[in-house]
Structure 1
Amino acid sequence: METYTWLRSFADSWHLLFMTLFFLGVVVWVLRPGSRDLHRESANMIFRNEDKPASAGDNATEEARK
């Protein structure tokens, strides 16, 4: 039972502190200056090779319906 008590106190104090600092570090890293262009590029990456919307007569659309 002593191991459980020790692990519980560790999780309540140090692990909570570690997880909070990790979360704040990730938020700061995502919102850092200069990352806006990278996020825009990755958000639009799936549209990079598209010139127009898929038409109703497109072969890929018909094959997907099968």
Structure 2
Amino acid sequence: MFFSYFKDLVGREVTVELKNDLAIRGTLHSVDQYLNIKLENTRVVDQDKYPHMHRISLVNVSMVIHGLAFAK
């Protein structure tokens, strides 16, 4: 159920909120059946809070997601 939902979002811009409150926005590149996701063209939502993360461009997330939202 969740896998097919996330699979439909591939290619769209999403925001991933991790358990440590770090929010990352980027294009959903891929998702697997374990809900591990890969984001491209990423940026940290609150760059003032996480200045050391300002140069990330590709992120792999392994089910430590707290929330997910997508751009309208």
Taking structure 1 as the reference length, the TM-score comes to 0.21
- Higher-RCO chain (CA-CA 8 Å, sequence separation at least 6): 2
Question: Which is higher, the Rg of structure 1 or of structure 2?
Answer: 1
More helix by share: 1
Taking structure 2 as the reference length, the TM-score comes to 0.20
More strand by share: 2
